[in-house]
Copies of this chain bind each other. A is one copy, B any other.
Amino acid sequence: MGEHDKTRVIFQPSGRRGEVVKGITILEASRQLGVDIETLCGGRRICGKCKVKVEDGFFEKYGIHSSKANAGAWQEEEGKFISPDKREQGYRLGCCAQVQGDLLVFVPEESRAGKQVVSKAARNIAIEWNPAIKYYYVEVAEPTFKEPTADLERILDELNHRYGLTSLDIDLFTLRNLPSQLRAGGWKATVAVWMDREIVGVFPGKTKDYYGLAVDVGTTTVAAYLCNLVTMEVIDTVSMMNPQCKYGEDVMSRISYHVMHQDGLQKMSDDIIQAIQDLVTQACEGTHPTENKGKNKKSEENKSITDDEDTPYLCLNPNDIMDMTIVGNTAMHHILLKLNPEHVGLAPFPPVLHKGLDIKARDLGIGINASAYVHVLPIEAGFVGADNVGVLIAEEPYKKDEMQLIIDIGTNGELVLGNKEKLISSSCATGPALEGAQLVFGMRAAPGAIERITIDPDTHEVDYKVIGRDAWKSYSKPDEMGAKGICGSGILDVLAELYRSGVILKSGRFNAKLKCKRLRKNCENNQPEFVIAWAEETSIGRDIVITQRDIRQIQLAKGALYAGCKLMMRRMGIERVDVVKIAGAFGTHVDREKALIMGLFPDCEMERIVSVGNAAGDGARAALLNRTKREEAEWVSGNVEYLELTLEKDFQQEFVEAMQIPHMNDEFPHLEGIVSDEVLHQK
C-alpha cells in the first residue's frame, strides 16, 4: 500500500498520534493508536457510546489541517445519538466516521473506555470546623405602624442581638429575595453569613445543612469535592479531564497558545469555567435518586465510583452550593481568572498576584448560588502555585520540628522543604515522563496498563501485573494478561528493576555485555530496547518494549527532581531529610522502595516515605471547611522562600550527576540489602 493511502490522526486529550490507512473508522484508528474509546456494541452502530468530536482548523503544534470533511459522510445511525447542534460542533460516532484525511479527534470524557483511575479521593485529614459560610436562625416580629422597620434591619438587629454579628453587608441578589423568603417562613428565617461580613442567603424557616465545593484545577485533571459544610462530610468526589488539554498538554504550551491566539485566554478560561460548571452539575446530580439520573444518561455514566447508594438522596442543585474554594498551579490559576499568563512563562516568571482572592461566583461565570463567593487560594511564586499552597495547608510542615520534603508530581514537579523554622519551595520541569507520557508504550493508569514489575537478576525473566487483573503474569496464561502499555507507577518499577537486575547500568545505558533475548535492537532504527511483554500477552498484538530513549526521558525527569531536592537541602544547610511526602496521583501508586532505588529523591528511612494523595485537593477542602486555613494559606504563601533552581550555582552539574541511577556520588544507606553491592557501587 502506497504512502499516499495513509493519513495522520491525532487523538486528544491523550495526544496519541500516528498514521493510519485511509478508509478505516475513527474507532479502528483509535485501537491502532492505543486510544480507548468506549463501545458496548463493538462498533455495530447501536450503542452510541463512541461519540467523538472532530476538530476543525489548522493545528500548528502538529502541522495538520483537520476538518469535518475528512471524517467521511454522515451516517443515518448517528442522528439517533447526536443532536443537530452537536453535529454542527463536529460530533460523530467513532464507528461511523471514516478517516479520509488528516484528523484531530477529541475523545470526550464520557466516551473514554477504561476510564482513568483518578486517585483524587478525599483523604481523612483533621480539619477544624470553621467554614466561611455559617447559618443563623432568626425570628423577627412582623412590621406594624408602631415599628415599620425594614425587612433587612429587622434581621440585622436580630443577628446582632442573638449572635453578636455587627456591620453586616448584604448581597444584592439575596436582598432581592429577602421580602418573599421572610414572608414565606412566617418571619422565621435562616440567614447565611459569609465571613461574618456579608449576608449571602436567606431561607424560610430552619435550614440545617449547607454545602460547598472544593475544586482542584490540575493541568490534566479537574477534581471537585462536594462537602456538607455542617458535618464536614465529603458527599461526592467528581473529576474530569481538564478540557484545556486540547490546547496543549503542559502549562507552557497553554501559555504559548494564549500568546499565539488573540482569543486563546478567553477560550481556555471559558473551557475551564465550563468544566467546573459541569462538575457542579455532576456533583449535584449525584445526590438525586437514580430515576432522575436515568433521564440523563450522561450523568449516569459520569457517576463517581465513590457514590454511595445507601445515602439518602439530598437532591441538591447548583443553587445549594454556597461556597467554593479553588486551587491550581499558577498557569491554571491565571487562565481560570482570565489573568494574562504570559509573564508567568517568561523569566523571571512574575505572576499577576500572589494573594488569595474572594470573587463572586457570578463574576467568574460559575453558576452556583447567585450570592456565593469563590475563594481562590494564594500562589507562592512562579510555577509554585495555589495547588502547592493547598498541599502545604493540608500537610502543615510549618507546624512540625522534623524536616519534611514534600514532592508534588503532576505534569510539573513542585518541591517544598522545611519545618517550623523555615520553608523553601521550588519547581522543576519533570515533564510528564514520570506519568508514563512521551514513552513509546506509556499510557494512563487504565485497565491493561502494566503497573508492577520484577526482573530476575539471574535469568532476566520478567514478571508483571496489569491494572484490572489481580494475578501476576507468572500465574496467568499469556493471553489472559491483555497488556496495553506501561503506566506512570509501572515506569518507575521497570527502571528500578532494570537497574537492580543489571540490565541497565548506573548511567542508564543498557548493559552491552548482557546476553538476553529480551534485550535486542529495534529492527527499524537499530536502537537497543528491552521487551517487557511479548505480543501474545498483549491486547495490541505487539511486543511492549522500553527503549533507550524512554529511559533517557525518565532519567531527565528524575534528574531534575533529585537535583531540585539536593539544591534545596544545600540552601537549607542540611544533609538529610526526616520525612519524604509524595503528593499527587503519582504518589498513591508509586512503590517507595523503587522510587528510592531510582534515586527520585535523596535517601530517607523507608518508613518515613509516605504518600499523601491529592494533598492539593485536601488543602482546597481544608480552606472550604475552615476559614482560618485561608489565613494560614495567605501567611504561608508569603513566607515560603522560593528557590529558582536554574539560577543556582552548579545546577547543570547537579542535574547531570542526578541523572545517574540512583546518584553518582550520594550515599543511600537505606538501599543496602535492597540493591546488591555490586550494582549499587558500580563505577
Chain A residues at the B interface, C-beta cutoff of 8 Å: 143-145, 148-153, 156, 169-170, 172-173, 175-176, 178-180, 337-340, 342-343, 347-355, 357-359, 363-364, 379, 381-382, 642, 644, 647
Contacts and interface: CB of A to CB of B under 8 A. Distances in A.
Nearest to A358: B169
Nearest to A362: B363
12 contacts: A143-B343, A148-B642, A148-B644, A149-B350, A150-B353, A150-B354, A153-B353, A170-B353, A172-B363, A175-B339, A176-B339, A179-B340
Contacts of A354: 149-150, 152-153
A352 B180 contact: no
- Copy tally for this chain in the complex stands at 2
A309 B348 CA distance: 51
Given A151-B353, A172-B359, A350-B148, A340 B382 contact: no
Given A148-B381, A642-B148, A644-B148, A350 B178 contact: no
B352 A172 contact: no
Contacts of A337: 172, 175-176
A348 B143 contact: yes
Contacts of A156: 355
A180 B340 CA distance: 8
A176 B173 CA distance: 24
A350 B151 contact: yes
A337 B145 CA distance: 25
Given A175-B339, A337-B172, A151 B352 contact: yes
Contacts of A347: 145
Contacts of A339: 175-176, 178-179
Contacts of A169: 358
Contacts of A364: 172
Contacts of A173: 363
Contacts of A647: 145
Contact of A145 (B153, B338, B348, B353): B348
Nearest to A343: B179
Nearest to A146: B348
Given A339-B175, A339-B179, A343-B179, A150 B350 contact: yes
Contact of A148 (B145, B151, B359, B382): B382
A348 B148 contact: yes
Contacts of A348: 143-145, 148
Nearest to A341: B179
A144 B647 CA distance: 12
A201 to B, nearest CB: 16
A193 to B, nearest CB: 16
A347 to B, nearest CB: 7
Contacts of A143: 343, 348, 350
Of the listed residues A339, A340, A353, A358, the one surrounded by the most CB atoms of chain B closer than 10 A to its CB is A353
A345 to B, nearest CB: 12
A375 to B, nearest CB: 12
A148 B349 CA distance: 7
B176 A338 contact: yes
Nearest to A143: B350
Q: Most chain-B CB neighbours within 10 Å: which of A152, A170, A347, A350?
A: A350
Contacts of A149: 350, 354, 381
Contacts of A180: 340
Contacts of A352: 150-152, 175, 178-179
Contact of A353 (B152, B342, B353, B644): B152
Contacts of A172: 337, 357, 359, 363-364
Contacts of A379: 150
A531 B642 CA distance: 91
A339 B175 CA distance: 7
Contact of A152 (B151, B152, B176, B355): B355
Contacts of A644: 145, 148
A388 B348 CA distance: 56
A149 B354 CA distance: 8
Contacts of A152: 352-355
Residue from A145, A349, A382 whose CB has the most chain B CB atoms within 10 Å: A145
A144 B348 CA distance: 6
A247 to B, nearest CB: 19
B355 A153 contact: yes
B351 A150 contact: yes
A179 B334 CA distance: 12
A73 B343 CA distance: 63
A181 to B, nearest CB: 11
Contacts of A363: 172-173
Given A150-B350, A156-B355, 10 more contacts: A143-B343, A144-B348, A148-B382, A150-B379, A151-B343, A151-B351, A172-B357, A175-B339, A175-B353, A176-B340
A148 to B, nearest CB: 4
Contacts of A153: 353-355
A639 to B, nearest CB: 13
Which A-B residue pairs are the 10 nearest by beta carbons? A152-B353, A143-B350, A148-B348, A145-B348, A150-B351, A179-B340, A150-B354, A150-B353, A148-B350, A151-B352
A337 B359 CA distance: 21
A647 B349 CA distance: 70
Nearest to A154: B350
A179 B358 CA distance: 20
A347 B358 CA distance: 40
A647 B347 CA distance: 74
Contacts of A349: 148
A337 B179 CA distance: 13
Most buried by B among A172, A343, A349, A357: A172
A389 to B, nearest CB: 13
A364 B169 CA distance: 17
Contacts of A642: 148
Contacts of A175: 337, 339, 352-353, 357
A150 B144 CA distance: 55
